Amino acid sequence: MPYYQNVVKNNTSAQGYLTLNLYCSPMTEKPATINIIAKKAGVGLETIRYYQRIGLIEEPEKPLSGYRVYGEDTVARLLFIQRAKELGFSLAEISSLLALGDGSCLETKALAIHKLDIIKNKLHDLQAIASTLEKLIQSCESNPFHHGCPLITAISKK
């Protein structure tokens, strides 16, 4: 018996096979094995195993003699990890960012404020680079033979 793949469009949740359970459903349309979620998230499956080893993502229970099944939440988490990495966060930092969302607010509020501070600094620097690049591009348009545009000064001063 085949799974009813793609029957429920734009929805990753389905309890049993065809139940429309948009919110809080722990099941996916089709038992998603590691390779399937790896492709969905655009990472290698060895990477997923690595993240499990270091505790960045949870390893689902292994059914006695069978393959592990993953939920959509794992895909979302993997996507988050990729984007956060591109923003210069280490896996350890990403782990603590994710813990902010998982844990009790009371115990992590101070940490969240601290993280926000770091992120605002990054935002500031990125904006400075972006506006310098914009000026650079504009000055190229007005004077295509211009030579030597200072990018460094945009963010190098503390």
128, 131, 133, 135: CA torsion to nearest 10: -130
Could you tell me the smallest distance in angstroms from the CB atom of residue 4 to its own copies? 24
Each residue 32-71 as x (binds its own copies by CB under 8 A) or -, in order, gives ----------------------------------------
Q: In this complex, which beta carbon is closest to DNA, that of residue 90 or of residue 138? A: 90
Nearer to DNA, 4 or 67 (CB): 67
Least distance to DNA, CB of residue 63, Å: 7
Q: How far is CA 139 from the centre of its chain?
A: 36
Q: Which of the stretches 15-23, 32-40, 58-66, 78-86 binds its own copies when contact is defined by CB under 8 A?
A: 78-86
Instruction: Let me know: does 55 contact 67? Beta carbons within 8 Å.
Output: no
| Spatial distance between the Cα atoms of 118 and 127, rounded to a whole number of angstroms | 14
- Among DNA, its own copies, none, what does residue 15 contact (CB within 5–8 Å per kind)? none
The residue from 22, 54, 92, 137 that contacts its own copies (CB under 8 A) is 137
Say which residues have a Cβ less than 8 Å from residue 69's Cβ, sequence separation at least 6.
28, 31, 32, 33, 60, 63
Per-residue exposure over 115-128, b if at least 16 CB sit within 10 Å of its own CB, e if not: beeeeeeeeeeeeb
Residue with tokens 């029957």: 7
Interface residues toward its own copies, by CB under 8 A: 73, 76-77, 79-80, 83-89, 97-98, 100-106, 109, 112-113, 115-116, 119-120, 122-123, 125-127, 129-130, 133-134, 136-137, 139-141, 143-158
